[in-house]
Amino acid sequence: MPELPEVETVRRMLAPVVMGCRLLGLEHDDPARYAAAEAAVGRRVRALRRRGKYLIFALEGGLELVAHLGMSGSLRLDEGTHTCARLEFEGATVFFNDPRRFGRLRAVPAGDYRTLPTLARMGPEPLSRAFTARVLEERLGRTRRPLKVALLSQEPVAGLGNIYADEALWRARLHPERLANALAPDEVRRLHRAIRAVLRRAVELGGSTLGDGVYARPDGEPGYFQIEHAVYGRAGEACPRCGQRLERLVLGGRSTHFCPRCQVR
């Protein structure tokens, strides 16, 4: 699933293309997923923002077009085999490609996310000043869920998915099954630093393009952070820090990768 670094990369590349342009038309082949976006047609883009894993087109007239890329979605400047929707802007067409068809487009009144509950309850942006170690500690303290599961909920912090939760927990030397509310203050501080460091580097490299090649930037080029993955997708290989064999477990229905020596439960 595209996570914060991938969505931020898309935002940075699409913003110069659509800013100030009017959405002239929306073609799609799935009313259940895209018809709720049709109210955006005819409105000009005032800003292009990101909130967690969501891309938000701020439109004139107090409306927002919210895009969630789902498991396999991407917004491209060229049409692909799995194009599900076409957004015709003045001067450019943006194609919503989505092989697994979990993505969504929805037009909502600005700031009204009642129909998007995950977006409504999302925690602070991890690269913002609002995301402090104290805030992270307070939010983790609200739940007894395993640490990895809590991070994926988007409530302690926005934008982390399977890849970057694994990478941040490895960097912070924290086992993914630790209870979220049981971390010591110094462990929370390590996790806070790790989340920010991993995400900054991933954004710098344009996100992660995995072996399936599903994610690509709007220009069709891949991201490159997968070259620096320490644990994600590397079960059975040597830990780059201590040499121990990396392991995989299923946690909250998601594959989770970790080092049993560096990340002691």
Are residues 164 and 196 in contact, defined by beta-carbon separation less than 8 angstroms?
no
248 in the same domain as 139: yes
Same structural domain for residues 197 and 225?
yes
* β-pairing verdict for 104-109 and 92-97: unpaired
Domain encompassing residue 253: 133-258
DSSP state of 231: S
* pLDDT beyond 90 at 1: no
Judge whether 124 lies within some domain. Answer: no
> Do residues 160 and 168 touch, judged by C-beta distance below 8 A?
yes
Does the pLDDT value for residue 82 go beyond 90?
Answer: no
Residue 8 has pLDDT above 80, yes or no: yes
pLDDT at residue 34 in the model: 85
Domain shared by 161 and 67, yes or no: no
**Does residue 38 form part of some domain?**
yes
Domain check: are 30 and 103 in the same one?
yes
User: What is the maximal distance between C-alpha atoms in the chain?
Assistant: 57
Whether residue 64 is contained in a domain is answered as yes
If asked whether residues 21 and 114 sit together in one domain, one would say yes
Both 174 and 87 in a single domain? no
Alpha helices in the chain (DSSP H): 4-18, 31-34, 117-120, 133-140, 147-152, 162-172, 185-204
The verdict on 215 and 137 lying in the same domain is: yes
Number of domain units in the chain: 2
188: domain CATH number is: 1.10.8.50
pLDDT of residue 32: 83
- Does residue 91 lie in a domain region? yes
Point out the residues that are catalytic: 2-3, 53, 254
Domain co-membership, 153 together with 99: no
| 265 within domain boundaries | no
Q: Is 22 in the same domain as 56?
A: yes
Return the higher-pLDDT residue of 72 and 156. 156
**Residue 218 is assigned to a structural domain of this protein:** yes
Do 11 and 47 touch, CB atoms closer than 8 A?
no
Which whole number is the average pLDDT over 98-118?
92
Domain-ending residue, one of 119, 141, 158: 119
Domain identity same for 77 and 137: no
Is the alpha carbon torsion for 216, 248, 181, 168 positive or negative? negative
Q: Please check whether residue 68 lies inside any domain of the structure.
A: yes
Question: Same structural domain for residues 137 and 201?
Answer: yes
100: left (phi over 0), alpha (psi -120 to 50) or beta: alpha
| Residue 126 maps to a domain | no
Mean pLDDT of the chain: 95
Residues 154 and 253 in one domain: yes
Helix H or strand E segment including 48:
strand 45-51
Residue that is last in its domain, among 58, 93, 119? 119
CB neighbour class for 184 (10 Å; exposed up to 12, middle 13-18, buried from 19): exposed
